[in-house]
Amino acid sequence: MHHLDNTTAERPNFVTHLECGYTGERLAAGELHNLSPAGKPILVRYDLAGVAAALDKATLTRRAPDFWRYRELLPITRPENVVSLGEVMTPVVHARPLGEGVYVKEEGRLPTGSFKARGLAMAVSMAKELGVTRMAMPTNGNAGAALAAYCRAAGIEADVFCPADTPEVNVREIALQGANVYRVNGLINDCGKIVGDGKEVMGWFDTSTLKEPYRIEGKKTMGLELAEQFDWELPEAIFYPTGGGTGLIGMWKAFAELEEMGWIGPKRPKMIAVQATGCAPIVKAFEEGTEHAELWQDAHTVAAGIRVPVAVGDFLILRAVRESGGFAMAIPDDVIMAAQRDAALDSGVLLCPEGAATFAAYRRALAEDRIAASDRVVLFNCATGLKYPMPEAGITLDRSKPIDYSQF
């Protein structure tokens, strides 16, 4: 591999310590952690002055276009622990037919077809670095597939628990990528309980969303990439389909780190948390002005990736949304599906249902004057639309009979 390969490059490590995201309690880096002693997500802290002294923008932009190029802002210490399946910097498509200021971040180009690859590449690499041999997680599909693939690449055993109605393609993908996969008659939080209750007896490292420190660091690369792709002038708004909120929290953290390095100014995008009407705990908490969100009863939506009735990082999501001057919005399933169809027909962009929810939210925010048509907005298309069931289509032709060309 040539010298631009970011996965094999030397990795000067700038991590100073870990920190409880709620109490600020300091925790040691270099050892395994799940939640903090207060039962909250843990954040990784860096010597950002040191990073700024070691790296400049010109050096960064000459590196190969994958998310390992941000290695000074990532936690892995030794190159041999990097577990990689060919992660790319994902394109930002200026989708003018959807709106003059609309940019779609195409996360489906990542390994396993979703942005879960970012978080799991980082979590599995760190697990390898810290000597983990068996990982487990609850999933609505995409996270489990990414865990399965990266664990296989790392030689770590993976056990994955899905709600019984997880899309079939996801369950089969997880199995084909070599994980043990189980269907549970419940929702993702019920699956999470099986992992939490069984981790002692099974020797599992619990890789549930935000229950270990490193998936956020992987998702943070979305914020670093956006800053770089927008030439260090962040867009006016980011519409993010919010389940556990890892990406929203991660991007918010990335922007703070870049500002502390002096690479961007204080201006921030409005962070807009998009959920489905059938599962909108964050929207409810935002509207009620609370710090935490209540468990959502009877959660249901076609957008499986955001069917998350309770998020352990709820306060971090709500904090980012509020500090940014953003808001939270819930979209009904039929409006999500209409947005998916419109986007495909108008622009050629195939949105996954979760991505379509962001487009629907954008249209509504525009109609309600909460966003200006001149604003540059980023919609997160977080998985390839090809992973989801599609409407039946196609007309059958019988080539043994004369073709009636007037019908086309």
Ligand X SMILES: *Cc1c(COP(=O)(O)O)cnc(C)c1O
The DSSP element (H or E) to which 283 belongs, if any, is: helix 281-288
CA angle 35, 258, 14 (to 5 degrees): 60
Site string for ligand X, 192-231 (x = CB under 6 A): -----------------x----------------------
Can you tell me the distance from the alpha carbon of 22 to that of 6, in angstroms, rounded to the nearest whole number?
A: 33
C-alpha dihedral, 30 to 34 to 38 to 40, nearest 10°: 110
245 forms part of the interface with ligand X (CB under 6 A): yes
Site for ligand X in 278-337 (CB under 6 A): 305-306
Judged by CB, which is closer to ligand X: 234, or 336? 336
* Residue closer to ligand X, measured from CB, 204 or 388: 388
Measured from the CB atom, the residue of 195 and 383 that comes closer to ligand X is 383
Comparing CB distances to ligand X, the nearer of 51 and 210 is 210
Q: What is the DSSP letter of 343?
A: H
Among 6, 36, 242, 301, binds ligand X (CB under 6 A): 242
Among 111, 163, 244, 385, binds ligand X (CB under 6 A): 244
Among 116, 128, 211, 363, binds ligand X (CB under 6 A): 116
Among 235, 243, 278, 326, binds ligand X (CB under 6 A): 243
Sorted by sequence, the CB contacts under 8 Å of residue 243 that are 6+ apart come out as 140, 209, 305, 306, 307, 308, 311
Q: Which span sits near ligand X by CB under 6 A: 200-208, 245-253, 258-266, 393-401?
A: 245-253
Closest CA to 146 of 164, 178, 120: 120
Lateral strand order in the sheet of 92-94: 92-94, 102-106, 377-381, 237-241, 270-276, 328-331
In the list 36, 189, 246, 384, the residue contacting ligand X (rule: CB under 6 A) is: 246
Cβ-based nearer residue to ligand X, 144 or 263: 144
Q: How big, in percent rounded to 5, are the helix, strand and coil portions of the chain?
A: 40, 15, 40
Touching ligand X, residues 161-190 (CB under 6 A):
none
Rounded Cα distance, 73 and 6, in Å: 13
- Contacts to ligand X by CB under 6 A: 114, 116, 142-143, 209, 241-247, 305-306, 352, 354, 382-383
